Amino acid sequence: MPRKIVETTFRVRYAETDASGVVYHANYIIWFEHGRGDFFWQQGRDYHRDVEARGLNWPVTELSARYLAPARYGDLVAVRTWLGEIQSRAFVIQYEVLNAETRQVLCTGWTKHLNVGTDWRPRVLPEDLRDLLARQE
């Protein structure tokens, strides 16, 4: 079964570039978060209502980014986001950042998230949240 892939498109802002006119590397991590948020919104979900209001959090515990080509001010970029691996208490979200016009891949990466309670101790993902993450519609 194919993975649900959500694509978020936006234009690079001047504030996201460095002195050489290319996007500063840390901004790709922010773009991963933007894509992750859209991954849930486009499925009709609200992270605060569906996760935090239940006394749970999904902090990032690991991440990886591989930079392949630069993005520059004014470029139209797309972040493609999908569920990677899901475990009993953790899951991985994968990302691909593209130039939206040429479709050149600029950056790939992933973030690993741990399901924790208000005491910040790991918890088993509730079945309905596992279903939300794994939904491939």
Question: Is 105 inside a domain boundary?
Answer: yes
- Residue 96 is predicted with a pLDDT of 98
The 10s digit of each residue's pLDDT in 6-31 is 999 999 999 999 999 999 999 999 99
Q: What is the span of the domain harbouring residue 76?
A: 6-134
- Residue 131 is predicted with a pLDDT of 81
Q: Is the pLDDT of residue 136 over 80?
A: no
Q: Is the pLDDT of residue 2 over 60?
A: no
Question: Is 26 inside a domain boundary?
Answer: yes
* The one catalytic residue among 18, 46, 128, 131: 18
Q: Which residue has the tokens 């998230």?
A: 113
- Residue 130 is predicted with a pLDDT of 86
Percent of the chain with pLDDT over 70: 97
Query: Token pair of 60, please?
Result: 């990032």
Question: Is 51 inside a domain boundary?
Answer: yes
Question: Is 10 inside a domain boundary?
Answer: yes
- Residue 82 is predicted with a pLDDT of 95
CATH number at residue 14: 3.10.129.10
Comparing 38-42, 55-59, 60-64, 69-73, the range with the smallest average pLDDT is 38-42
Q: Is the pLDDT of residue 85 over 60?
A: yes
Question: Is 96 inside a domain boundary?
Answer: yes
Distance (Å, rounded) from C-alpha 95 to C-alpha 5?
9
- Residue 1 is predicted with a pLDDT of 43
Whole-number average pLDDT of the chain: 92
Domain count, the chain: 1
120: left (phi over 0), alpha (psi -120 to 50) or beta: left
Question: Is 30 inside a domain boundary?
Answer: yes
Question: Is 1 inside a domain boundary?
Answer: no
Q: Is 50 a catalytic residue?
A: no
Comparison of pLDDT for 46 and 19, the residue scoring more: 19
Q: What do you get for the CA distance between the two ends of the chain, in Å?
A: 10
